[in-house]
Chain A
Amino acid sequence: MAEDVSNTEDMISPIVTAYPREKRYILAMMQDVQKKYNYLPKEALKMIAKHAEVPFSQTYSMATFYKAFSLIPKGRYNIRVCDGTACHIKGSAVLIDQIYNNLGIKPGETTEDKVFSLETVNCLGACAIAPVVMVNDTVHAKVTSSGILKIIEKYRGDAGDEDV
């Protein structure tokens, strides 16, 4: 679950300053921040640039280059639909369409209530159970177009419970 990003600077500072002030640690800093927040806040990129003594434009360039980094906040449940060869043939595109019809988000986007976000991955390495969908760390095997709706409903229910 993504943590509250208020007071970002105080929260990010220890992650960044844990590393020496050298260029070569920039990616490691970014990975740590991404791990904690599920995305890279603008403040983080600025702080990393300052700490590693490189221009802000360079950290932004790096953050946009790697697909592992996101610049927009991820939802509480990050849905990763495998779109590798096997899953693609088994109909992963249908799942992506279903998610769009149901949640209104395309790959790389997050729902307005910040509960779900969607991304596609090139292979999860579980082709035998294609098509595969991962929600956070849970793997869902052989997902059908009606199955994905059940999965969404389940997590929507969970999110509702947590709010109470």
Chain B
Amino acid sequence: MKIIIDGRDVDVEYGETLLTAAKRAGIKIPTLCHNEAFEGQGRCRLCMVEVERGSMKNTVASCTYPITGEIKVSTSTPLIEKMRKNIVMLLYKQAPGSQLIQDMYKEYGCVDNSLEENNADERCILCNLCVLACREMGSSAISLIMRGTDKQVATPYNEAAEVCLGCGACAEICPTNAIKVIEKDGQRIIWNKVFNLVNCQRCGKPFATREQLGYIAAPGKDISTQSLCESCRRKSAAEKIQGFM
């Protein structure tokens, strides 16, 4: 099946999203709330594109739009650019503390407006990726709480969550670096919970929390690499392969 994106013929599969098809064809569509590990969320709306189907013309979020027929797509039109500029302006008002958003604010040529907010340090754009990452890790310690202008990501009652592993997947996936992780003196503090770090058996560097390793070592999972940090794990795997040659 073929569709046209920005004047180019692109081979696509029935049902895949517009964003996936465009990415594969090397056509860039800006995104913030999208990560290949998860399905499109349609939250940040930055990936809006114009879709022509017959005589119908629509703007859609490409990350959630499944391709089901012959369409003509434009990823950058005056209308789309104007929408993105608006979105970036609003994101900047939500998270003025984020370097990424600040850069985008300049890139899209946004001009300041009179909306005064008292949130200069805020970096979270509520993209929900951290919540998805935490769920995928199997702990679901954080979620979006409240609604409207009070909405935020937090653990229940803002307390240290029993189920939190301290794995830091939430901070890793965050596009705006909004989740605070403090690591010092062999401890990691994240989401108001203090974890003791375990040292790598080979290089001695603290690399994971006890809870994380305990979770990995649960029955049915591979525990052979559990006390090596990522780079040492790679080294030891390479050495093993060398032994066979």
Contact = CB atoms under 8 A, between A and B. Distances in A.
Interface of A: 42, 45, 55-58, 60-61, 64-65
Task: State the main secondary structure of chain A at its contact with B.
Answer: helix
B156 interface: yes
Given A61-B143, A65-B146, 5 more contacts: A56-B156, A57-B142, A58-B143, A60-B156, A65-B145
15 contacts: A55-B135, A55-B163, A56-B161, A56-B163, A57-B141, A57-B142, A57-B156, A60-B145, A60-B157, A64-B145, A64-B146, A64-B147, A65-B145, A65-B146, A65-B147
Contacts of A65: 145-147
Nearest to B145: A64
B96 to A, nearest CB: 25
A61 B144 contact: yes
Contacts of A60: 143, 145, 156-157
A55 B140 CA distance: 6
Which applies to chain B's interface (DSSP): helix, strand, loop or mixed? loop
A55 B136 CA distance: 12
B148 to A, nearest CB: 10
Contacts of B20: none
A60 B146 CA distance: 9
Contacts of B209: none
B17 interface: no
B155 interface: yes
A60 B147 CA distance: 12
Nearest to A67: B147
Interface residues on B, range: 10 to 19
A56 B139 CA distance: 10
Nearest to B140: A55
Contacts of A58: 140, 143
Contact of B161 (A42, A45, A57, A61): A57
A64 B142 CA distance: 13
B142 to A, nearest CB: 6
A61 B162 CA distance: 16
B161 to A, nearest CB: 7
Interface string B195-239: 000000000000000000000000000000000000000000000
A64 B156 CA distance: 10
B140 A57 contact: yes
Contacts of A55: 135, 139-141, 143, 163
A61 B145 contact: yes
Best-surrounded residue of B139, B145, B155, B163 (most CB of chain A within 10 A): B145
A42 B162 CA distance: 14
Given A57-B142, A58-B140, A42 B157 contact: yes
Contact of A57 (B143, B146, B147): B143
Interface string B134-175: 010001111111110000000111000111000000000000
Closest 8 CB pairs of A and B: A55-B140, A60-B156, A57-B143, A61-B143, A64-B145, A64-B146, A65-B147, A57-B140
A65 B144 CA distance: 9
A58 B147 CA distance: 14
Contacts of B144: 61
Contacts of A64: 145-147
Nearest to B161: A57
Nearest to A45: B156
A64 B147 CA distance: 8
A57 B163 CA distance: 10
Contacts of A57: 140-143, 155-156, 161, 163
